[in-house]
A and B are shown apart, each in its own frame.
Chain A
Amino acid sequence: MRHLFHPGSLRRPFTFCTQTDSLSPVQRIFWLAWRDLVLEFRGRTGILSAVFFLAVMLFILAMAFGPNPQDLQKAAPGVLWVALAFAGSLLAGRAFGLEVEDGTLDDLLLTPGSREWIYFGKLLFQFSLLILVGLVLLLLTAGLFYLPLQNWAWFVVVLLLGSLGYAAISTFYAGMLARLRGREVLLPLLLFPLVIPVVLAAVRFTQGLAQGIPVAELSDWLRLLAVFDVIYVTVCAMVFPYMLEG
């Protein structure tokens, strides 16, 4: 396993790590996500471009909603989630983009064992990326759109749940379209109609928080979001192995 940290072996860790059989599925999930995260941070282009894209988008949205602080504050929850959804569609291609470019997708598929762990590993990777970008975004929105962050813990909770639902679907479609030309166009087309319920519930909860409504009254939205997450993750994990075969 120490080979994983050797720069030369990063691109193909599993060819160096011969005892994949002995790894438990949870370890495989973790290592796959870890490898992708290391690659992502060493490459830097993906995550940096997503963050700067977000910053520029926030500027444009702030100009669209006007300089009046009340208007900006009212728009803030919607802006937060729309920006995250757009950034997520940029990042979604990263889940399998490098695998296809480097031809390592076949290696990944050839590793013995069931396929679900590939999905969960990529999901963990996408989820971590979204959380990181989401936290930056939360701070930017708080600064530029006057989003009150007194209840910051609940903002983080809704960010976690919303990102999980979003990542569940985006990872599924990214894997499905991995080998396809023109996937950059197809991915948002397929992704956005499906994530509407997740974004809707997350926006509603965030709006309530921003307006200072007590969390007890809003918890229905959070519960709904959790139910969506469970359904999407389960269904995507069940269907995903069929999508990758062959």
Chain B
Amino acid sequence: MQLARSNQTNRLDSLTLGILGLGMVGAGVGFILAMGAPPDQSQGFVARIFHMHVPMAWMAYLASFAALGYSVAYLVRRKAHHDRVAAAVVEVGLIFMALALLSGMLWARPTWGVYWDWEPRLTTTAILFAIYVGYVVVRGAIEDPELRAKAAAGVAILGSINVPISYMSVKWWRSLHQTQSIDLTTGKINVDAAILIPMLINLAAFTLLFIGLVRLRSIIAAREAAREEV
């Protein structure tokens, strides 16, 4: 039984490889299309970072929801698998979140003139980043697997619930004191079909990469757990 299971987890399954391969091809195609897309009227070529930035930010929030789902599933069902997937989702999501923040800052410098602005979306993402760093640190600090899984699930659930709350509060914080500011959420880019299609392709490619990376990370985690058992 032990052998059979560790054999199973010792092989990278073809589905994961397929998803990762398709995602990489898609990202390549998306990149070429994005570079071929016409430059933005007001921002020029700088706006092309949009094709990377939006899918990354989208993945970051997808990770937050997935982490919430798998953490609740773990607390209800108590299957180690759910805990491993939740951890993988958070780790991969953290990378996408860092990339989204970084690319956003690089984009903000030439367009808004500053690297950082206390805009609700930015602030909420930064808070979320801090929460998930805490998640990873907590996982590293606890050795007992069951205790670790429970504590991590608690952090993920509270953290995900905090996303809409902090978004709301930061939005209010801004709106009550700032009389006029650039509405970053609506007035960004007049999305044209020539820009939208590469963006959607990129979005699909990044989603596939996300799923593939999470699967890969979960398989590695499962292998580690199987090894610890032996």
- Name A residues whose Cβ lies closer than 8 Å to a Cβ of B: 169, 172-173, 176-177, 179-182, 186, 189-190, 192-194, 196-197, 200-201, 204, 220-221, 224, 228, 231, 235-236, 239, 242-243, 245-246
Contact = CB atoms under 8 A, between A and B. Distances in A.
A246 B137 contact: no
Given A204-B176, A220-B172, A194 B154 contact: no
From DSSP, what is the main secondary structure of chain A's interface residues? Answer: helix
Interface in B143-168: 146-147, 150-151, 153-155, 157-159, 161-162, 165-166, 168
B151 A193 contact: no
Nearest to B123: A196
8 contacts: A190-B131, A193-B127, A193-B162, A194-B158, A196-B166, A220-B172, A224-B169, A231-B161
B165 A190 contact: no
Interface in B165-221: 165-166, 168-170, 172-173, 176
A60 to B, nearest CB: 24
Contact of A180 (B134, B142, B166, B168): B142
Contacts of B154: 172-173, 176, 239, 242-243
Contacts, number: 84
A242 B173 contact: no
A49 B146 CA distance: 35
Given A186-B141, A235-B157, A246 B130 contact: no
B138 A224 contact: no
A14 B154 CA distance: 28
B128 to A, nearest CB: 8
Contacts of A190: 131, 134, 138, 155
B75 interface: yes
Q: Sorted from nearest, which 4 A-B pairs have the closest CB atoms?
A: A197-B169, A193-B130, A190-B134, A193-B131
Contacts of B127: 193, 196
Nearest to B157: A239
A219 to B, nearest CB: 12
Nearest to B130: A193
Given A190-B138, A242-B75, A200 B173 contact: yes
Contacts of A201: 169, 172
A236 B170 CA distance: 22
A239 B141 contact: no
Contacts of A236: 158
B131 A194 contact: yes
A150 B137 CA distance: 45
